[in-house]
Structure 1
């Protein structure tokens, strides 16, 4: 049961990382356009 907690946390971290990369990429693209 304790293994489910860290596993879910890992998935959340991966999703957060992906979203962060997308946001960063979008921001960089906007900066490049400027």
Structure 2
């Protein structure tokens, strides 16, 4: 799931990716590839 942080540069998810608990929670964006 650490791969999600590489996408943190994207404006539409950067705010959510910055929150620790969001990293483990299912993202409504669906833009982050989960293994």
Larger Rg: 1
Taking structure 2 as the reference length, the TM-score comes to 0.21
Q: Which has the higher contact order (CA 8 A, sep 6+)?
A: 2
Q: Which has the higher helix share?
A: 1
